[in-house]
Structure 1
Amino acid sequence: MSERRHTPGRGLLYGLYQKRLRRALTEAGADALPHHVAMIIDGNRRWARQLGYTTAEHGHRAGAAKMIEFLEWCDQLGIRVVTLYLLSADNLTSRENAELAALMKIIGGLALDVSSHRDWRVQHVGSSAGLPGELVEALATAEQASRDGTGMHINLAVGYGGRTEITDAMRSIVAEHHAAGRSLEDLAETLTPELIGQHLYTGGQPDPDLVIRTSGEQRLSDFMLWQSAHSEFYFVEALGPDLREVDFLRALRDFTRRQRRYGG
């Protein structure tokens, strides 16, 4: 996880600016900051190509290392829930086998690293369908090892698809309703957004207040379609491995300045 190119702006002025941003956020107070931040890390493959690597694996390893840093930044500011979009369900069919195999090993290692870090609690959100047994086992081990964590809650979105999540939620609701011997009329009466939310992979968690995406791309890519209905979005030009703490602090500063309009 050590492949990383030099990122401009690491000098004295950068440090002073970063401290000023952090101080301003601290003064704004915890209530002004997002309680749940979701991150779509993008651009790992482009990062590897730009540095002349022959495979994307170097980019994915650098991206995984950056996510550990990102989690540290979040924890230091008291953010309670973080979701990392690491592997979409679509990736399982759109990536070359060699790249996908390497990426899955990297994700498994990341999950185990995160679960052994401080008092963080790890949860796999997504489907295990199509994932190799080694990765499924690593995700389950990470969940088990961190189950008593009382600190930051970290969702690892692996094999994740927003449409599939909503479909699975509806299937779960219908199955429970059928098992209880209740009628379709009863289901129609009791079906609410709140009930659907309870059956999502993230059931019981707050929806993300802020969704960040790296690499300059401005799309959701089937990520948290239900949960992000009222989220704020922030797009960073930096490729995933090049994300700086100051970029994250700017995103948070931008969030604190927005007037959130729910449906307006």
Structure 2
Amino acid sequence: MRRMVRREREASPGVGPGPEPKAEGPRHVAIIMDGNGRWAVQRGLPRTAGHRAGVEALRGVVKAAPELGIKVLTCYAFSTENWKRPKDEVDTLMSLLLEYCRLEATTLHKNGVRINAIGRIHELPPAQQREIERAVNLTRGNDRLILNLAVNYGGQAELVDAFRSLAAEVQAGRLDPDRIDAAAVASHLYTAGLPDPDLVIRTAGEMRLSNFLLWQAAYAEIWVTDVYWPDFTREHLEQALREFARRERRFGAV
């Protein structure tokens, strides 16, 4: 990453919000929604309660994003590594995914939100695959906000899938290996056709990407907050945008 990750704590009372975000704010914001389990444990609740609270936080952020000028929002909902978690937690996450697609798709459609899913969707249970497909088809024509749900997603798996696809084209004689460049790789990623994220937000204070958008985030600014995801609000999103506006992006130049 080009510059040091900036870590932010929740704003203290009496501290001014700082300058407003510039007009040229991030087009694409990606969020690692972390801390649901810890949020629940601190309250004496099962970890699954934290995931349910996290869905409420997602609703608020999806509503706020287009109002703040964000055109693409990618949210890390379930990683390829999350299958290693206890079965009851995985079952809850799969159930919440089903509920979200069933209950939110119509509202999101009315609000001009296009739902997209990135990851190895074909490995999900059939019911989840069907609901994702239904939500994607329902909202396909919307352009107010693209909501990418990263489900059964891993950055390394995405690159493996892209390289396999490129290799198949070479083997079939449709692609000269000498013509494979960064643009060719990008065109075979799950996010093909979308701008790379300008800003990656991580909640709950961890200082790592956790296998999220490894190719696409090469020049993204990173903003980390100690706030757990269920407590993340529009105000925190605005705080991240203000910090983004302060940074100077050089993309390797002077």
Same fold (TM over 0.5): yes
* 1:4-23 pair list within 5 angstroms: none
The offset of 1:170, in angstroms, is: 1.0
For the residue of structure 1 that corresponds to 2:150, the secondary structure is strand
The offset of 1:245, in angstroms, is: 2.2
What's 2:36 paired with? 44
The offset of 1:96, in angstroms, is: 0.7
Distance across 2 between alignment mates of 1:85 and 1:220 = 11
CA contact (8 A) 1:216 1:236 kept: yes
Q: Is 1:217 aligned to residue 217 of structure 2?
A: no
Distance across 2 between alignment mates of 1:108 and 1:84 = 16
What's 1:245 paired with? 234
Tell me the amino acid that sits aligned with residue 47 of structure 1.
W
Deviations, residues 187-223 of structure 1 (Å, cap 9, x unaligned): 1x10100000011000010000000000011110000
Out of 206-215 and 66-75, give the one that drifted further.
66-75
Q: Is 1:196 aligned to residue 154 of structure 2?
A: no
More helix by share: 1
For the residue of structure 2 that corresponds to 1:39, the secondary structure is strand
Distance across 1 between alignment mates of 2:52 and 2:245 = 32
Distance across 1 between alignment mates of 2:249 and 2:81 = 31
- Report the identity percentage: 37
Deviations, residues 145-196 of structure 1 (Å, cap 9, x unaligned): 11111210110000001011011111111212322366xxx31x10100000
CA contact (8 A) 2:60 2:233 kept: no
CA contact (8 A) 2:114 2:146 kept: yes
For the residue of structure 2 that corresponds to 1:147, the secondary structure is coil
Q: Is 1:102 aligned to residue 95 of structure 2?
A: no
Distance across 1 between alignment mates of 2:59 and 2:41 = 22
- The unaligned stretches of length 5 or more in structure 2 are 1-9
- The unaligned stretches of length 5 or more in structure 1 are 1-7
The offset of 1:72, in angstroms, is: 1.2
Tell me the amino acid that sits aligned with residue 109 of structure 1.
E
Q: Is 1:173 aligned to residue 163 of structure 2?
A: no
What's 1:205 paired with? 194
Q: TM-score, normalised by structure 1?
A: 0.85
The number of aligned residues is 240
Distance across 2 between alignment mates of 1:106 and 1:156 = 13
Aligned counterpart in structure 2 of residue 127 of structure 1, from 104, 120, 131: 120
Q: TM-score, normalised by structure 2?
A: 0.88
CA contact (8 A) 1:114 1:122 kept: no
CA contact (8 A) 1:115 1:142 kept: yes
Out of 134-143 and 41-50, give the one that drifted further.
134-143
CA, structure 1 residues 181+230, in 2 after alignment: closer, same or farther (shift >3 Å)?
closer
What's 1:85 paired with? 76
Task: Point out which structure has higher relative CO (alpha carbons under 8 A, 6+ apart).
Answer: 2
CA RMSD of aligned residues (A): 2.1
